[in-house]
Amino acid sequence: MRRLVTEPEDLYLLLDSLLREPKLFWNGFYSDRKKDIPFFSNVPDENLVDYIDCGIFKPGRVLELGCGPGRNAIYLAKKGYVVDAVDLSRETINWAIERAKIEQVDINFNCQNIFELNFQEGSYDIVYDSGCFHHIAPHRRISYIQLVKKALKTGGYFAITCFAPNSEYGGSTISDIEVYRTQSLKGGLGYDEEKLRAIFKDFEEIEIRQMKESDQSVLGLAGFMTAIFQKR
């Protein structure tokens, strides 16, 4: 029987089914580790380093959403944070585990869809996302915001790095309705300051800015936006 929509989650699952199956795509994406992809290098985001250096982030519990091969999780663990890092791709979680072993850091890597996570409310001081949110479909923003709110303690921080609109790396500017009409996120959606502010309006805005182009010791690409918010 086709799914009968009676709850919001039924509708979300129905809309999910119109779009690309993410696990298959991302496992294929990570099957060649030698590809020239900026985030394949094992260095942290420039904004993440900045949050720690300027003292906004202080060691505590972190939930990383869509952690990929683990570069930011590894950096945080080295700085004394307790990290739960989640990604739905088994390929990338295996890679992250290998990297963490080489770097001799202890991280709880979890191969799971972020929307199926189970944790106690208010467990985390920080939720971090680099490059996952822009691959999330418009209807799932609702689940995403609920997830971040549930994960964070009051006063906890949520920080995000995502495609700026029409950047050289991606950042489609199609409307939400076009996503469903064309059944595609066109490689990832672009977010400017105004959209990020509107989506995360329930949080206190700390900073929204363009990512700073950086040298190779950190990952900084001007085609990305970074934002940090605090749970009220």
Ligand X SMILES: C[S@@+](CC[C@H](N)C(=O)[O-])C[C@H]1O[C@@H](n2cnc3c(N)ncnc32)[C@H](O)[C@@H]1O
- Tell me the closest approach of the beta carbon of residue 57 to ligand X, in angstroms: 17
CB of 228 closer than 8 Å to CB of 206:
yes
Q: Is 26 a binder of ligand X (CB under 6 A)?
A: yes
Residue 176 sits at φ, ψ, to 5 deg, of: -60, -40
Q: Which stretch binds ligand X (CB under 6 A): 3-11, 67-75, 101-109, 200-208?
A: 67-75
Q: Is 68 a binder of ligand X (CB under 6 A)?
A: yes
Q: Using CB under 6 A, which of 18, 19, 22, 193 touches ligand X? A: 22
Sign of CA dihedral 173, 163, 54, 126: positive
Q: Which is nearer to ligand X, 48 or 152 (CB)?
A: 48
CA–CA distance, 186 with 188 (Å, rounded to integer): 6
Subset of residues 76 to 105 that bind ligand X, contact rule: CB under 6 A = 86-89, 92
User: Would you call 18 helix, strand, or coil by DSSP?
Assistant: coil
Q: Which is nearer to ligand X, 135 or 231 (CB)?
A: 135
160, 162, 151: which is closest to 207 by C-alpha?
160
Q: Is 132 a binder of ligand X (CB under 6 A)?
A: yes
- Tell me the closest approach of the beta carbon of residue 154 to ligand X, in angstroms: 25
CA–CA distance, 85 with 96 (Å, rounded to integer): 9
Q: Using CB under 6 A, which of 44, 66, 171, 190 touches ligand X? A: 66
CA–CA distance, 159 with 129 (Å, rounded to integer): 6
Give the footprint of ligand X on this chain (CB under 6 A).
22, 26, 39, 66-69, 71, 86-89, 92, 113-115, 130-132, 135
